[in-house]
């Protein structure tokens, strides 16, 4: 893919998956369902007309960051994500050899897309998120890092508005457990990947049913976040992750355990917990909460 607006030729309507037509008024229109999609501040807005409540809540969470006083400077968003960024720099980027077209799903403040573009300048990088407020913050973050993805697109993972087989790599950080319908989201990801393309997801959790119940209860972190923010905080077992990826027609699937306590310093409990389970055998980790990295080939 060439740089610039050639990407517009590969965009589809998130409602009916018909091809979009680029208008002179810096907008796109679907001639099938006659819906217009705006392009504002270098962000292409392609959310479906029907978005579930959790999807709408994700943007509200980002809006709340900007309410009640002066908005915090963008560099503070980098500090907030320092554990994830350090992990990505130390454990993920060195293992990557990226070429072609790369899609980040659930990019949030877009720091990963920016670091990928900084490292792999020849790649065409597309950063997407369900929240336009997140992408606007991401544009500021990219200015700090010194590299910006080639496109910012406001869209939903469960309605990815791209032509089939467009991307060589789809990457995300702790995003899949937020989806309302994970199987649908995985099927859309598979659809937009080229044959032989790779899905890479960092920062997810695998846990057994008992621990899943505790995590999502009122005393669990996931349960509290769901109650306070209204966002999806699902939990899946190791076996459930494998099955859903297989059902979504991925072929080579690898779930790697992430046990590094050094990248979990945001609270006192995670580093203590991961120090304890650091010596546990692999088979036991399949039944207790543990971070995983997902790598799957189409």
- pLDDT over 60 (residue 150): yes
Give me the pLDDT at residue 223, please.
46
Which of 24-28, 209-213, 242-246 shows the lowest mean pLDDT across its residues? 209-213
Q: Would you place residue 85 in the very low, low, confident or very high pLDDT band (cuts 50, 70, 90)?
A: very high
Class of domain 5-65+72-297: alpha beta
pLDDT in tens, 192-239: 999 999 999 999 999 876 666 555 545 455 545 555 555 667 889 999
The number of C-alpha atoms within 13 Å of 245 and in the hemisphere containing its C-beta is 23
SS3 per residue for 140-185: HHHHHHCCCCCEEEECCHHHCCECCCCEEEEEEECCHHHCCCHHHH
Of residues 1 and 292, more confidently modeled: 292
Mean of all residue pLDDT scores within the chain = 88
pLDDT in tens, 158-176: 999 999 999 999 999 999 9
pLDDT in tens, 263-281: 999 888 889 999 999 999 9
The answer to whether residues 186 and 157 touch, using CB atoms and an 8 Å cutoff, is no
Which of 14-18, 49-53, 134-138 shows the lowest mean pLDDT across its residues? 49-53
Provide mean pLDDT across the span 242-247: 96
Q: Would you place residue 77 in the very low, low, confident or very high pLDDT band (cuts 50, 70, 90)?
A: confident
Listed in sequence order, the residues at least 6 apart from 14 whose beta carbon sits closer than 8 Å to its beta carbon are 46, 47, 48, 155, 156, 159, 160, 161
- pLDDT over 80 (residue 151): yes
Separation between Cα atoms, residue 215 and residue 226, nearest integer Å: 11
% of the chain surpassing 90 pLDDT: 71
Provide mean pLDDT across the span 246-259: 95
Which of 32-36, 106-110, 213-217 shows the lowest mean pLDDT across its residues? 213-217
Q: Would you place residue 249 in the very low, low, confident or very high pLDDT band (cuts 50, 70, 90)?
A: very high
Q: Would you place residue 68 in the very low, low, confident or very high pLDDT band (cuts 50, 70, 90)?
A: very low
Of residues 70 and 135, more confidently modeled: 135
């Amino acid at each position: 893919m060439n740089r610039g607006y050639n990407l517009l030729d590969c965009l589809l309507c998130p409602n009916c998956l018909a091809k979009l037509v680029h208008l002179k008024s810096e907008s796109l229109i679907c001639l099938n369902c006659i819906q217009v999609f705006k392009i504002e501040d270098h962000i292409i807005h392609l959310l479906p007309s029907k978005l579930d409540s959790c999807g709408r809540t994700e943007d509200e969470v980002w809006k709340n960051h900007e309410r009640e006083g002066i908005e915090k400077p963008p560099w503070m968003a980098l500090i907030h994500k320092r554990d994830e960024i350090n992990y990505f720099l130390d454990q993920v980027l060195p293992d990557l050899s990226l070429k072609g077209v790369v899609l980040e799903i659930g990019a949030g403040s877009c720091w990963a897309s920016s670091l990928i573009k900084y490292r792999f300048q020849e790649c065409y990088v597309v950063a997407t998120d369900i929240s336009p407020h997140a992408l606007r913050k991401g544009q500021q973050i990219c200015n700090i890092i010194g590299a910006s993805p080639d496109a910012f697109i406001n869209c939903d993972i469960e309605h990815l508005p791209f032509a089939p087989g467009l991307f060589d790599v789809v990457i995300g950080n702790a995003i899949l457990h937020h989806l309302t319908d994970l199987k649908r989201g995985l099927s859309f990801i598979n659809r937009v990947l080229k044959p032989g393309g790779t899905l890479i997801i960092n920062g997810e959790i695998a846990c057994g049913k008992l621990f899943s119940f505790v995590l999502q209860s009122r005393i669990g972190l996931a349960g509290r976040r769901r109650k306070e923010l209204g966002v999806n905080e699902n939990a899946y077992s190791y076996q459930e992750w494998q099955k859903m990826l297989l059902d979504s027609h991925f072929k080579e699937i690898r779930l790697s355990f992430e046990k590094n306590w050094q990248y979990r310093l945001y609270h006192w409990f995670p580093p203590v917990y991961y120090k304890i389970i650091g010596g546990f055998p692999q088979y036991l980790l399949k039944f207790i909460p543990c971070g995983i990295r997902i790598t799957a080939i189409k």
